[in-house]
Amino acid sequence: MRGYLHKPLSTTMEFIVESDKAELLERPVSPEMVIFYITQDTQKHPLLPELKAGGFRVTGRIPTLCSLSDPISGELVVETSVVPIQSIDVHLLRIESILSGERIVTETSLVQSTQIADGDVCRNMTLPIYVILPRLLTCPTSLAGPFSIEFKASIVITFESQLSKTHPKSDPRTPRLWMAMETLPLELIRTR
């Protein structure tokens, strides 16, 4: 308050709080690598007829336990695909949940999207996955009673199709006929 004839002053400021690192885990964190495979049979949503008939198989490995200060690193191999691939992306998703009464309210948001490949890739060639975590949009995975913040990594393969050209600005979290995806849980921890 500034007095009778003046308007009150106020300001808004963002800040980051880091606690003492004495209780944190020692480096390095041994990543718990998960082997995944994506085929037409692992998809829970409908696919284009040419994807169902021709088939595809993508395998790889990615960690499910990662330090906030380290990148997510893994690998991916396109073994077969009859339909040409348009792109391969890794989406980092944040899932916030809260207990409201007797039900759990969950909100999922796309934190970051990293393109691994653009265009049709060579078959049986190992592609590196290297995703740097955004400092301001990530935090350690937290499960605290009625509130939780969790993360997931979603590998999304977009195939070339006439339909994908007519819907260029679709939500990347929503499965489409021309997309194949695999979503894996990701536990983020803070280390020294």
* Single pTM value for the model: 0.80
pLDDT given at position 173 = 65
The full set of domains in the chain, from first to last, is: 33-162+175-189 (2.60.40.640)
pLDDT digits (tens, 9 = 90+) for 89-113: 999 999 999 988 889 999 999 999 9
> Which residues in the chain come in under a pLDDT of 50?
none
DSSP alpha helix (H) spans, the chain: 49-54, 162-166
Non-local (6+) Cβ contacts of 179 within 8 A are: 156, 157, 158, 159
Kindly state the helix (H) or strand (E) to which residue 180 belongs, with its residue range: strand 179-189
Write down the pLDDT at residue 22: 57
Residues 150, 56: Cα–Cα separation, whole Å: 30
